Copies of this chain bind each other. A is one copy, B any other.
Amino acid sequence: METATRTSTRRRRPVRRKPSGIAIERRQDLRDAAVRSIAKHGYAGVTVSMICEEAGFSRGLIGHYFKGKDDLLLEAIRAMSMDVARANQAAVRAAGKDPRDRLHAVVRSSFSPPGFSADQVAVWVALVGSARWSPSLRAIYRDLWRGYRAGISKLMRQAAEQRGIAIDAELAALSFSQLIEGFWVGWAADPVAVDRARAEKACHLLVDMLLSPAVGPQAGD
């Protein structure tokens, strides 16, 4: 229904705004439930009821912690993205200083927990399959990949320099990121044909090939 414009006068200071601990917890509960629900039913198939049931709360609760369904879904996907990104970063740091080792660490991280799980891949595929038609999802998607590729690109450049070869690091990073993404979406839809272990192996191989002298993407091609 149409609402009048707020002609605010004499409003007292709004009652507390600080997310009060429990609020943070509930938002987290709902985000997690949303991730699981998206994984189970797809981005379009998920309903508020499903999420709340999954979280163990009543339907109306969502309104207390999120502006609406979209807001929650977006936050859930953002959180999942950040989890994946964090897992990669941790893997990189744990791999030592060598750029080539770090690249292989990213590959491993991309196909094993905590950066890779059935739910995470499913939500990622849901994101992929919706980003084209939703500006907000698209923004999440782009930001994540662009940052990711920048990191990979840097590692590629370092690894190439170290080995004394000249490569198109950006193109290498693009191949790297898209091969992983290709395996993710392929695995989500057909985990039999797109075996996880073989996918990882193929990615390791790609790194090796890209960093082989006179074989990888020559700078200035």
Contacts and interface: CB of A to CB of B under 8 A. Distances in A.
Contacts of A45: 3-4, 44, 133
Interface residues of A, number: 81
Contact of A15 (B58, B188, B198, B199): B58
B132 A188 contact: yes
Contacts of A41: 3-4, 133
Interface stretch (A100-108, A157-165, A172-180): A172-180
A67 to B, nearest CB: 12
This chain's copy number in the assembly: 4
A200 to B, nearest CB: 11
Q: Which secondary structure dominates where chain A touches chain B?
A: helix
A43 interface: yes
B181 A185 contact: yes
A131 interface: yes
22 contacts: A4-B41, A4-B132, A8-B10, A15-B52, A15-B58, A42-B133, A42-B134, A125-B128, A128-B185, A138-B189, A141-B189, A141-B190, A142-B193, A174-B193, A174-B199, A174-B202, A175-B179, A178-B182, A178-B183, A181-B185, A181-B186, A209-B215
Given A4-B41, A42-B130, A175-B202, 16 more contacts: A2-B135, A3-B45, A3-B133, A4-B135, A8-B10, A9-B36, A12-B55, A15-B56, A42-B44, A145-B193, A149-B193, A202-B217, A205-B216, A209-B212, A209-B216, A215-B215
